[in-house]
Amino acid sequence: MKISIKKTLAVVLSVATVLSLSGCRIVYKVSEKEVEKVHYDVITVEDEVSAETPSSAESTTTSNSQNKPNGNKGGNTSSAVSAKPEKEKKLSGSLKIQVFINESQNPSDAWTEVADAFEEATGVNVTLIMGSQVNTQYSARWLAGEAPADILLIAGNGLPDEQMAKSGTFYDLSDVIKNGKVYGTSKKISDVLNMKVIETENGKIFRAPLMTSVQGLWYNKNTIKTAPRNYEEFKAISKKQKSGLTYPGQYADYSTWGLFMPAVAAYGQDFFNQVASGNPDAFKDKRFMAVLNKYEDYCKSKLVLVGSSSADHITSQLNWLNGKCGFITNGLWLESEMHDYIPSNFHMAFMASPLIENNQKPTVIMNSVNLAVAKKAKNLENALAFIRFIYKENMQLAYMSRYSYASALKSVNYQHAAMSTVARETLDYIYSGKVSIVNKGVRWNNLIDNEFKNVINDMTNGKMTAKQASTALYNAAKKSS
């Protein structure tokens, strides 16, 4: 009997060992899949190539918005990059790009499309290191001063790009952005790019804008026919809904940048810059107080969906999609992120923050989604060519249509791009002229960001008044200055 028990135990232990070993291998495979390596075949190019390939031919209509900042246009307006093809220096070798992508498939499609086009145009062999954990997986190597990739998409958490730029991890792109030409054309990048969204460190450009994005409120057009244009309308419409507004309390900065700061920006770029750069006195200014007072009144009227201050971002988004409230603070990525969960009777629509006076114009804050080139890039020349390549109009359209973001260029004809109706309507709204656009350009200390999140949740829960919130933010700004 004893022997049979021992045998049984041995069998069980063996099975457990085999299972655990196979479990390890499964984890390893998943991990490898997460860092999806898309490898492209090398296209050998014998002679100097014309970078202008049929697939990347530009629109040649005339621009009427070259001199207008943020003048992206829909309809039959122009392309900014509409020059004759220029011959480019022959390139060879490879290029590694680290790309953070979220759960959605769309962004990875954009990168695949652009990488294909770059390979075709240059003959460079592109490797995309993509996944939602790439920042975590490679941060130690960046931290150690290595360059695990030639180009880095600055997105997601875990990469303190400001510190990396200051510490010399990134290559100085000033010359490329100011004097370089869009790949394969005679157009200067500085002429076509929205230069106002560029963030600099001591006057040097370490981050090249890939796209631009804004945050604000989303609503369901099927239930809210006309978007509120000011606070009075916002409150009135909210009262007619089951509940007014939701936001992810665990990531309350969605409200900081979708609700509060755009309302601050409605007072103009100068005042916005004062607040966004963390000037303590700006948090005591009557204009800032006016924004806080509106939110205090909104919370006192019990118009924020119960549970918002503790919700994570998916919960808040599902609550909104399930019709529990009228509005949600979020960014342009919302449609792409929730693509599979949007009910059929739901028509998403974007609007600027309504925490403004009747006589103010709705405003959005435009910030850039950036690429950086590693200072120690093994394929520096190829990396710089790629930076020039992304400013070709059809490359911008590839990103815009898959990310649902705005272009980094001043003007892009997106009307015929393969993008969703919601993305097109959103871009139409942003560039309609009914909305003011303020460029972010500056950053405050993250301590203020942290305090702002606490303030929003406390105000939502009725544990803080507007005046207390102003003092808390003033103290945080004072401490960080």
Partner 1 sequence: MKKKRNSVDVLSMNGSKWRFLLFLVIPTFALYLFFCIVPMINSLINSFYDWNGYGPKTFIGIKNYANIFSDVEFWDALKNDVAIVFFKELIIVFLAVLFAVSLTRARLKKGEIGFFRFIFYVPNILSVIVITMVWKYFFENFDFLDKGWNILKTDNGIWADRPLALIIFIASWCGIGYYMIVLITAINNIPGELYESADLDGAGKIRQLWYIILPELAPQIRFVIVNILAGSLAVNMNLILPLTNGANHTMVMGLYVYNYGTSNLSMVGYAYAAALVLMFVSFVLCFAVNMYMKRQEAKQA
Binding residues vs partner 1 (CB under 8 A): 139, 142-143, 157-160, 163-164, 166-169, 249-252, 306-310, 312, 315, 446-447, 450, 453-454, 457, 460-462
Q: Where are the beta strands (DSSP E) in 300-413?
A: 327-331, 348-351, 363-373, 406-407
The 10 Å Cβ neighbour count of residue 103 is 12
Structural contact between residues 277 and 442, judged by C-beta atoms closer than 8 angstroms: yes
Q: Which is nearer to partner 1, 30 or 418 (CB)?
A: 30
Structural contact between residues 215 and 258, judged by C-beta atoms closer than 8 angstroms: yes
Q: Nearest approach, Cβ of 240 to partner 1 (angstroms)?
A: 22
Q: Nearest approach, Cβ of 22 to partner 1 (angstroms)?
A: 19
**Cα–Cα distance for residue pair 252/194, rounded to 1 Å:** 29
The torsion angles phi and psi of 118, rounded to 5 degrees, stand at -65, -40
Q: Which is nearer to partner 1, 108 or 308 (CB)?
A: 308
Q: Nearest approach, Cβ of 45 to partner 1 (angstroms)?
A: 37
Q: Which is nearer to partner 1, 159 or 419 (CB)?
A: 159
Q: Which is nearer to partner 1, 227 or 448 (CB)?
A: 448
Q: Nearest approach, Cβ of 37 to partner 1 (angstroms)?
A: 25
Structural contact between residues 326 and 220, judged by C-beta atoms closer than 8 angstroms: yes
Pick the closest to residue 271 from 331, 350, 174, 360 (CA basis). Answer: 360
300, two tokens: 């006192």
Q: Which is nearer to partner 1, 45 or 251 (CB)?
A: 251
Q: Nearest approach, Cβ of 289 to partner 1 (angstroms)?
A: 22
The number of residues making up the chain comes to: 481
Q: Which is nearer to partner 1, 207 or 402 (CB)?
A: 207
Q: What does the angle CA 350 – CA 458 – CA 364 come to, to the nearest 5 degrees?
A: 25
Q: Nearest approach, Cβ of 330 to partner 1 (angstroms)?
A: 17
The 10 Å Cβ neighbour count of residue 162 is 15
**Residue 60 CA from chain centroid, whole number:** 29
